[in-house]
Structure 1
């Protein structure tokens, strides 16, 4: 959160993350011990944005939860929009877009090949033209995650899609299949750095 909200106070961080202020205090103390954050006159800030992102990528265990892999012939962006509209029909705030599709909105560079969506509940996509697939051939991942931190903040929709937290998008792109996934991730990383400056 400090990457997107530099100089946030403990109270602001607690409200953004949805945990208690004492838990935020514990987390900030642990990060300060690693020399990743510092207290400023107006709140807390990351000391070095690149070091903070590297640490997060190295320590983040992933979203957890249950993932179902799907395949369809439509372009990944169209697949994402189809599934988002299906989910929003019953849960207007229950879906976040990540991976290639979100990266293409944040830092356009390559054509998305796989849509990654996070939802509060699962959904059978067979009637929408998808077929179950293995992880390697999937064109869409639908995950009901355990991690509450990946959800977008209210009012952060882009292009009609609610994007996952930018660090989650970076993590998903970093691990995505394809020879250019690292370069795509670097472009998202550069946007995070620019937004911080």
Structure 2
């Protein structure tokens, strides 16, 4: 029997349990807080403003996040770092704002499954995303594989993928494994804005090449700030150094290429 426990962030498939890492941490009070409503829209607005090349209007922010203008207005009103200009909204004190966001943002959350493959991490990521695309399942790369595009620094050791639904990757040539031995981790995120900010970044980058083709460009990887969060949470003694490399690229805009 398969089981999905939404409140506990846990899925059991064929006797194997896959849990949201945040849901397994100790402390009943903390778990109760995690089950509460999280300000996904606020965090996404901050990411979009932080990554934008130019000011964004309230209308543009709402459209990019598929949110109401009222919810975006609520975020911007009285925001510590957001300021309104004659062309739209911007984020000031960018380094402080980014560090504050990283300290507060818990990550996209969700349920993860772990897989093992023999190919290098980048090739595993490509194979997994191609397999998802062939089945019409939305997915975006994260962690080191995404960071390797935004700000190359260390060779990706594992592949990270956000998927719109749980999939059995044994059909794609991967072997199920544990969170201690995986080479590919696939997560169905709790944060719905992951997809919207990924699409906004993809469109921003496409516009630099061909503005006419923007609407036809699907997102391939998460936005750089989500990637940074996941790099910092990744295994390896040099995760902090890799994260700092991407952080600098975000602050100075070099992640855009």
Q: What TM-score does the superposition give when structure 2 sets the normalisation length?
A: 0.70
2:51 maps to 1:7: no
Instruction: Decide whether the 8 Å contact of 1:166 with 1:192 is kept in 2.
Output: yes
Distance 1:81 1:109, change over 3 A: same
Specify every segment of 5 or more residues in structure 2 that has no aligned partner in the other structure, as ranges: 1-47, 206-217
**Match of residue 9 from structure 2:** none
Give the alignment's Cα RMSD to 1 decimal.
2.0
Moved over 3 A (4+): none
Displacement of 1:4 after TM fit? Answer: 1.5
Displacement of 1:161 after TM fit? Answer: 7.5
Kindly indicate which of the two structures has a greater share of residues assigned to helix: 2
Which of the numbers 171, 192, 196 marks the counterpart of 2:250? Answer: 192
Q: Deviation per CA, 1:116-154, whole angstroms, max 9, x where unpaired?
A: 101111211113221122212211110111212222116
2:148 maps to 1:77: no
Instruction: Decide whether the 8 Å contact of 1:81 with 1:161 is kept in 2.
Output: no
Task: Spell out the pairing of 1:43-192 with structure 2 (5 A cutoff).
Answer: 43-91=88-136, 94-151=138-195, 152-153=198-199, 156=202, 162-192=220-250
Computing the radius of gyration over CA atoms, which structure comes out larger, 1 or 2?
2
Instruction: Decide whether the 8 Å contact of 2:115 with 2:184 is kept in 1.
Output: yes
Compare relative contact order (CA 8 Å, sep 6+) and give the higher one, 1 or 2: 1
Q: Distance in 2 between matches of 1:155 and 1:36?
A: 21
Q: In the comparison of the two structures, how many residue pairs are matched?
A: 191
Distance 1:52 1:147, change over 3 A: same
Instruction: Decide whether the 8 Å contact of 1:102 with 1:169 is kept in 2.
Output: yes
| SS of aligned partner of 2:89 | strand
Which is worse superposed, 1-10 or 149-158?
A: 149-158
Instruction: Decide whether the 8 Å contact of 2:199 with 2:219 is kept in 1.
Output: no
Q: Distance in 1 between matches of 2:108 and 2:200?
A: 20
Q: Distance in 1 between matches of 2:142 and 2:76?
A: 26
Q: Distance in 1 between matches of 2:165 and 2:185?
A: 13
Q: Distance in 2 between matches of 1:149 and 1:191?
A: 22
| SS of aligned partner of 2:75 | helix
Which is worse superposed, 131-140 or 16-25?
A: 131-140
